[in-house]
Amino acid sequence: MKIIMLGAPGAGKGTQAKMIAEKYSIPHISTGDIFRANIKGGTELGMEAKKYMDQGQLVPDELTVKILLDRVAKDDCKNGYVLDGFPRTIPQAEVLDKALSELGDAVDYAIDVDVPDENIINRMGGRRACVTCGATYHMVHVPPKQEGICDKCGSELILRDDDKPETVKKRLDVYHAQTQPLIEYYTKKGILKSVDGTVDMMDVFAKITDILG
């Protein structure tokens, strides 16, 4: 079972990807993680990716797919995997499809965790992070015992720049321009399944497991 997770930043697709991976005993593959693992391991592909990253450039699609294919060729992926954070654009999806089809393989499901922008801006604007230990809270869903103070270490909690409404809006604009077209791409392939991401996390997961069986 090969699954691609789609959804805007803050929609909760990473959380769902981890839960799917655990339930079905398949790896959760995040492109960020495999880049870091290859760079840390000093692999040839990792060193090539590092050259681009050190210059603040995006890693080219072909190289990203090479690193990804190297990862999914490992034994733990023989029953499938959940891809989180890739593909982000139509060209990436096309490169991935071509590479998989050359291996006689294909993606089984593209699952879109659908959350309106307004919900995401409110959701991320409610996040708070500890400046010292990195613990995270949410003013509505997981509030600290004392407002503005970390339960774990007593340090100050802040709203990270990444979670500020203006930053979130910019990230959503990029998502709509680059990643949302994948919804139509996978719909045409007949593998897109959309779930309502505004409901409780466990209800979202129940809907996904209904789809996957």
Kindly report, residue by residue over 133-181, the tens digit of the pLDDT.
Answer: 989 999 988 999 999 999 999 999 999 988 999 999 998 998 999 889 9
pLDDT-based confidence at residue 59 (cuts at 50, 70, 90): confident
Closest Cα partner for 169 from 121, 128, 116, 124?
Answer: 121
d(CA 77, CA 22): 13
Across the chain, mean pLDDT equals 93
Per DSSP, the residues of 193-208 read: EEEETTS-HHHHHHHH
pLDDT-based confidence at residue 102 (cuts at 50, 70, 90): very high
Closest Cα partner for 126 from 146, 113, 104, 141?
Answer: 141
For tokens 């339960």, the residue is 151
What is the three-class DSSP state of 170?
A: helix
For tokens 């708070």, the residue is 128
What is the dotted CATH code of the domain comprising 2-115+176-203?
Answer: 3.40.50.300
The pair of three-digit structure tokens given for residue 81, joined into one six-digit string = 């995997």
For tokens 């999914």, the residue is 72
pLDDT-based confidence at residue 57 (cuts at 50, 70, 90): confident
Statement: residue 128 has pLDDT above 90:
yes
Residues acting as catalytic residues: 13, 88, 127, 160, 171
DSSP run (H or E) holding 34: helix 31-40
d(CA 154, CA 130): 9
* Strand residues in 44-191 grouped as ranges (E): 81-84, 109-114, 127-130, 136-138, 157-158
Q: What's the pTM value of the predicted model, to 2 decimals? A: 0.84
Percent of the chain predicted with pLDDT > 70: 100
d(CA 150, CA 137): 8
Q: What is the dihedral of CA 62, 94, 83, 88, to 10 degrees?
A: 80
Return the ∠ at Cα 119 (arms to 211 and 172), rounded to 5°: 90
Residue range 61-86, pLDDT digits in tens:
889 999 999 999 999 999 999 999 89
Residues near 107 by Cβ (< 8 Å), separated by ≥ 6?
2, 3, 4, 83, 96, 97, 100, 186, 191
